[in-house]
Structure 1
Amino acid sequence: MNTLSYGLLAFLAREPGSGYDVMLKIQPFWQAKHSQIYPLLAQMEENELLTSLWIKQSEKPDKKIYSITDSGIRKLKEWMYMPLPDPVTRDELSMKTFCMWMTDRDNAIEIVESRKAYFSRRLESFHKMLQNIPEEKRGFGNREFYDYILIQKGIFNATAGQDWCKWVLGMLREQQAKESPVQSV
């Protein structure tokens, strides 16, 4: 099983849901597409880690709801004791930054501005999630504690990314100002 499979099990261990529901819940923490999620759900159902039932809906297509099985819970618990691998970094901004010497400053600024805007949207999303966790549930032992610390991790990462973007933009704009001809009045 891959990491995404375990992530899907983790969300379904909390509550049953459709593939679409699980995709929406996992998106803030792990980027995955429908084309990845649905085959994994089918495979885990075939391996008896999940069960499903169809819900009839009026005016909408029927919906398949997945639930984790006892075997799925055992598999998820086993995974929790596996060594944690080093994180995988795949960030197109890093690759474009490596090549920024090949573009003009305005494009470089646009690239970094677009990522800064992304971090702003992420921060807004994480802060909204945080509002849904009552203060009294933010302590060890509560299920919400783990949501709380994971959301905080997202906030720290997005803040660091936003700070980096601001730093780079400051340098690019400072150099741009120095190179601009002085206007005489």
Structure 2
Amino acid sequence: MNLLSYGLLGMVAREESSGYDLMLKIQPYWQAKHSQIYPLLSRMEEKNLLSSRWIQQSDKPDKKMYGITEHGREILQEWMLSHLSAPVTRDELSLRLFCLWLTEEEGARRMVAERKRHFLERIDYFESLLASRPQHTPTFGSPEFGEFILIQKGLMNARAGLEWCQMVLGMIPREGTTSLQEKLVSSI
């Protein structure tokens, strides 16, 4: 099983869900599309990790709801006790910043400003998730605890990213201003 499978299994262990519901629930923490989720759910059902039932809906197509089996719970608990893999960093902006010397100030400012907008959107998103939750802080051992600390992590990462963008934007000269190198040369 891959990591996405374990994540989906964990979400179903908490609450019976449809494939569409799972896609929405996992988005804040893991990028996954319908085309990845539905085949995984089918394979997990074939391996007796999940069970399913159909719910008839009058105004929409019927939907398939997934629940975890006892075997699925055992597999999930084994995974929870296994060692973590190192985090993976894969960010196009990082690759572009490595080559930043190849662009003009305006192009550099545009890239960082785009990422700044992304972080502002993420802050709004995670703040809205917090606002929609009960105001009490969940305790360790409750099903809500993991979700709460993940929302906090996302919010803190977005705020740190925003702060970094503001720092970088302050370091990039405005178009038409004298560059740092030109200033150093003229002061000699």
TM-score (norm 1): 0.89
Q: Which structure 2 residues correspond to residues 9-20 of structure 1 after superposition, within 5 A?
A: 9-20=9-20
Q: Counterpart of 1:59?
A: 59
Taking the aligned partners of 2:75 and 2:170, their CA distance within structure 1 comes to 48
Q: What is the CA-CA distance between 1:145 and the residue it aligns to?
A: 2.1
Find out whether 1:91 has 2:59 as its counterpart. no
Return structure 1 stretches of 4+ with deviation > 6 angstroms. none
Q: Which structure 2 residues correspond to residues 69-148 of structure 1 after superposition, within 5 A?
A: 69-148=69-148
Q: In 2, are the aligned partners of 1:6 and 1:79 still within 8 Å (CA)?
A: yes
Structure 1, 43-52 or 53-62: larger mean CA deviation:
53-62
Q: What is the CA-CA distance between 1:175 and the residue it aligns to?
A: 7.7
Q: Which amino acid aligns with 2:149?
A: I
Structure 1 unaligned runs (5+)?
180-185
Q: Counterpart of 1:167?
A: 167
Q: Give the secondary structure class of the aligned counterpart of 2:140.
A: coil
Question: Identity across aligned pairs (percent)?
Answer: 55
Q: In 1, are the aligned partners of 2:105 and 2:174 still within 8 Å (CA)?
A: no
Taking the aligned partners of 2:10 and 2:105, their CA distance within structure 1 comes to 44
Q: In 2, are the aligned partners of 1:137 and 1:144 still within 8 Å (CA)?
A: no
Q: Counterpart of 1:6?
A: 6
Q: In 2, are the aligned partners of 1:55 and 1:64 still within 8 Å (CA)?
A: yes
The CA RMSD measured in Å over matched residues stands at: 1.7
Taking the aligned partners of 2:176 and 2:167, their CA distance within structure 1 comes to 14
Taking the aligned partners of 1:99 and 1:137, their CA distance within structure 2 comes to 44
Instruction: Return closer, same or farther for 1:159/1:176 CA change in 2, 3 Å cut-off.
Output: farther
Q: What is the CA-CA distance between 1:56 and the residue it aligns to?
A: 2.0
Q: Give the secondary structure class of the aligned counterpart of 2:24.
A: helix
Taking the aligned partners of 2:28 and 2:177, their CA distance within structure 1 comes to 37
Q: Which amino acid aligns with 2:120?
A: S
Q: What is the CA-CA distance between 1:85 and the residue it aligns to?
A: 1.0
Taking the aligned partners of 1:15 and 1:68, their CA distance within structure 2 comes to 9
Structure 1, 134-143 or 159-168: larger mean CA deviation:
134-143
Q: What is the CA-CA distance between 1:14 and the residue it aligns to?
A: 1.0
Deviations, residues 76-99 of structure 1 (Å, cap 9, x unaligned): 111000001100111111111112
Q: In 1, are the aligned partners of 2:122 and 2:158 still within 8 Å (CA)?
A: yes
Q: Counterpart of 2:154?
A: 154
Q: What is the CA-CA distance between 1:176 and the residue it aligns to?
A: 5.7
Taking the aligned partners of 1:132 and 1:75, their CA distance within structure 2 comes to 32
Q: Which amino acid aligns with 1:143?
A: P
Q: Which amino acid aligns with 2:51?
A: T
Q: What is the CA-CA distance between 1:61 and the residue it aligns to?
A: 2.0
Q: In 1, are the aligned partners of 2:14 and 2:143 still within 8 Å (CA)?
A: no
Q: Give the secondary structure class of the aligned counterpart of 1:89.
A: coil
Q: What is the CA-CA distance between 1:62 and the residue it aligns to?
A: 1.9
